[in-house]
Structure 1
Amino acid sequence: MQQVRAVVAKAKGAPVEVVTINVPDPGPGEAVVKIQACGVCHTDLHYREGGINDEFPFLLGHEAAGIVEAVGPDVTGVAPGDFVVLNWRAVCGECRACKRGDLHYCFNTHNATQKMTLEDGTELSPALGIGAFAEKTLVAAGQCTKVDPEARPAAVGLLGCGVMAGIGAAINTGAVTRGKSVAVIGCGGVGVAAIAGSALAGASPIIAVDIDAKKLEVAKKMGATHTVDSSKTDPVEEIARIAAETYPGADGADVVIEAVGRPETWKQAFYARDLAGTVVLVGVPTPDMKLPDLPLIDVFGRGGALKSSWYGDCLPSRDFPMLVDLYTQGRLDLDAFVSEEIGIEDIEAAFDKMHSGDVLRSVVLMDGGN
């Protein structure tokens, strides 16, 4: 067992604390990872606010990259010294999704069996089974995905959650390709990643929708060809107008990605797609939200597909190395998602910056997290 510094949320709404925690030596199927960098995600804030569950205390952090320090006796997929991006989809290989070949829908993903604890022995609940706002963390070995060791940890660690969710919502769930038009409603970190993924796939036009001018400027830098300020303009009408400029007669975009997670914006996405188009919901709603009043005849008459995107429908072993390779080739600018680099003591301030919209991602740097 080792003792390391880590960021813990002890009670609902209370400021996080940097404390000493106990990290067990890895058992069967487990690995200890020395964290180099970890992004500050909205999900971490949701945990702190009790929006996920009430299993306090939480060990926060999950968008991380680092070096495998030790593995359990039966682990063969990774070894000490491997540079890895952590993921929360360690597929089981046994559930009905895995057995039919849909590993990206695994219904029984793995986490470490042993528990990390506070010094007094209180068990911690690691965020998304990872808990990476820590100098070291214990995870299931399948949560470690080997990638190019020359890649920058602060950038590629973001594939562990938000960036992968957005890129995957476009490429995997939405099946965005060259010759398709795309609109993205909500240009936070996930939405901007969906724009980057759409640009990577060759889509055009790519229409960014938000009410924040700063976010729309970032969206343009990441590949949006058009922007719509939905506080001033009806986004449904404007998306249809822009799409028709490229594809005469279009009634909307081929794929509309909703990255907010609200009934109002989902309804906009539904009506902003072309006939037989696709809506992708990647924004995460709260449990109390309900689908908007929507005539069933409109669902039938417009055809197409209404999809949800879980983790960008990614398979980490397939998608992480590919995207890291595109990053090292200069074809995917993951560095652009890193708004600032901070220390482990600065996470509360990073949560505040989320509300102001000043950052795509604050990234906590540990030792070697350049």
Structure 2
Amino acid sequence: MAHQVRAVVARGKGAPVSLETIIVPDPGPGEALVKIEACGVCHTDLHYREGGINDEFPFLLGHEAAGVVESVGEGVTDVAPGDFVILNWRAVCGQCRACLRGRPWYCFSTHNAKQKMTLTDGTELSPALGIGAFAEKTLVAAGQCTKVDRAASAAAAGLLGCGVMAGIGAAINTGNVGRGDSVAVIGCGGVGAAAVVGSNLAGAAKIIAVDIDDAKLDTAKKLGATHTVNSKDADPVEAIRDLTGGFGADVVIEAVGRPETYKQAFYARDLAGTVVLVGVPTPEMKLELPLLDVFGRGGALKSSWYGDCLPSRDFPMLIDLYLQGRLDLDAFVTETIALDEVEKAFERMHRGDVLRSVVVL
């Protein structure tokens, strides 16, 4: 039996999103039907609406979500109806070359639901990141569901589905931040703020938050940053060096995704230090660096895909920390909104005055 539900759809490049009725099929083999409780408004959703990901309109937006499994298809054993789950967009296959080498967080063949959700006229929808969770219900591959403790707030838990996990993982998994390290985070929106939290969890001794917005820097300070730099008022490279004995930080996390801020990260790290790119660039952006500097400074230049997370490992662990009071996920929820307020949330995102708007159903 198909399900008619309300959902947020982007029909064309740059056009305002609309609240529409869509058709969600019952789960087939390997699939799960999830009743959505909460979904964060992520910048990636705006990228989809603007045509910055691809042009496979219409898109069913939303992907940073938590909810309850309503039903499962044939062969599904890892989750069951009634399970409270966080949705993820890297459901590992277990068979690709990355998985077989014991690096499933790099899985090159992640699973999505095979059946299509549609508009009422039969037009197939492209779900954002294979999820599409600005909807009362969505259909996903069962591997995209990670069961966590039901005691967690859905609004907070869902944020681990993308931005918060990306930032925490950029610090802990990709950057390998360790006890006593110095870390600089360039860009303190939702992902950068999460990188501050991740660095704090990892035991960094010095965490330098860099942004052009004092409000974001104040939030970063509350989340664990030991120092802040407003890069409108000071050269961030020199400021980071000044705060690290003239050397630069052990790990610099770039959470903006622009060539100019990446260069700042490159030159703000210590010799043999690590740069982590977790900000998402656009296709036309180019980076130019002297190859001798790349060689001479040593260390590592890394990109962080989804915080190099393994959802089955990382989501339950982080929810446990949240329930113990050691990880303040609630601090990332700036506001809760209704399903028909996503377009307004995009406007607030443009102004930069939210960490996360979260749709609560």
Could you tell me the TM-score, scaled by structure 2's length? 0.99
Q: Give a deviation string over 1:36-58, Cα, whole Å, max 9, x none.
A: 00000000001011110000000
Cα distance in 2, alignment partners of residues 73 and 55 from structure 1: 29
Provide the C-alpha distance between the structure 2 equivalents of 1:75 and 1:45, rounded to a whole number of angstroms: 32
1:104-119 pair list within 5 angstroms: 104-119=105-120
- The root-mean-square deviation of aligned C-alpha atoms, in Å, is 0.6
Show the 5 A alignment for 1:13-162: 13-162=14-163
- The amino acid across from 1:338 in the alignment is V
Cα distance in 2 for residues equivalent to 1:22 and 1:354: 29
Q: CA deviation at 1:30?
A: 0.1
Q: Following the alignment from structure 1 to structure 2, what is the Cα–Cα distance between the partners of residues 16 and 297? A: 47
Structure 1's consecutive aligned runs of 4 or more residues displaced over 2 angstroms after TM superposition are none
Shift of 1:194: 0.1
Equivalent position to 1:359, from 348, 354, 357? 354
Residues 24-43 of structure 1: per-residue CA shift (max 9 Å, x gap): 00000000000000000000
Matched, 1:261 2:257: yes
Q: Which of 327, 330, 336 is matched with 2:325 structurally?
A: 330
Question: Is 1:240 equivalent to 2:215 in the alignment?
Answer: no
For 2:304 and 2:352, locate their aligned partners in 1 and report how far apart those are by CA, in whole Å: 23
Aligned to 2:11: 10
Task: Determine helix, strand or coil for the equivalent of 1:243.
Answer: coil
What's the counterpart of residue 164 of structure 2? 163
2:62 is paired with a residue whose SS is coil
- Tell me by how many angstroms 1:199 deviates: 0.6
Per-residue displacement from partner, 1:244-291 (whole Å, max 9, x unpaired)? 1xxxxx510000000000000000000000010000000000111111
Code of the aligned partner of 2:286: K
**In structure 2, the residue corresponding to 1:178 is in which secondary structure?**
coil
Q: Distance in 2 between matches of 1:355 and 1:224?
A: 24
The Cα shift of 1:185 comes to 0.3
Judge which range, 80-89 or 295-304, deviates more.
295-304
Q: Which residue of 2 aligns with 1:349?
A: 344
Q: How many angstroms apart in 2 are the aligned matches of 1:295 and 1:7?
A: 45
Who is 2:232 aligned against?
231
SS in 1 for 2:282: coil
- Tell me the distance in 2 between the aligned counterparts of 1:297 and 1:49: 38
1: CA distance between counterparts of 2:55 and 2:257? 22
In structure 1, the residue corresponding to 2:167 is in which secondary structure?
helix
Q: Could you tell me how far apart the structure 1 residues matched to 2:272 and 2:51 are?
A: 39
Whichever residue aligns with residue 294 of structure 2, its letter is V
Pairs aligned (count): 360
Quick one: percent identity of the two aligned structures? 79
* Aligned residue number for residue 247 of structure 1: none
2-side partners of 1:296 and 1:13: how far apart? 38
Amino acid at match of 1:2: H
Partner Cα separation in structure 2 for residue 230 and residue 71 of structure 1: 50
Counterpart Cα distance in 2 of 1:186 and 1:217: 13
Which residue of 303, 310, 313 maps to 1:315?
A: 310
Q: Which residue of structure 1 aligns with residue 294 of structure 2? A: 299
Letter in 2 for 1:341: T
Look up the SS of the partner of 2:243 in the other structure: helix
Query: What TM-score results when the alignment is normalised by the length of structure 1?
Result: 0.97
Aligned to 1:204: 205
1:181-212 deviation per Cα after TM superposition (whole angstroms, max 9, x unaligned): 00000000000000010011110210000111
Matched, 1:339 2:321: no
Give 1:73 deviation, angstroms: 1.3
Find the aligned partners of 1:173 and 1:131 in 2 and give their Cα distance.
27
Deviation of the 1:177 alpha carbon:
1.3
Structure-2 separation of matches of 1:174 and 1:142: 26
- Match status 1:289 vs 2:285: yes
Q: How many Å apart are 1:305 and its aligned residue?
A: 0.2
Q: Aligned-pair distance for 1:296?
A: 1.2
1:243: how far off? 1.3
Structure 1 residue 187 corresponds to structure 2 residue 188 = yes
Deviation at 1:295, TM superposition (A): 1.5
Q: Which amino acid aligns with 1:362?
A: S
Give 1:221 shift.
0.7
Secondary structure class of the residue paired with 2:252: strand
Rounded to whole Å, the distance in 2 between the matches of 1:110 and 1:18 is 27
Distance (whole Å) between structure 1 residues aligned to residue 9 and residue 285 of structure 2: 29
Distance 1:148 1:118 in 2: 33
Deviations 1:315-350 (A, max 9, x none): 000000000000000000000000000000100000
AA in 1 matched with 2:130: G
What amino acid is the match of 1:62?
Answer: H
- Matched with 1:274 is 270
User: Distance between the aligned counterparts of 2:236 and 2:152, measured in 1?
Assistant: 38
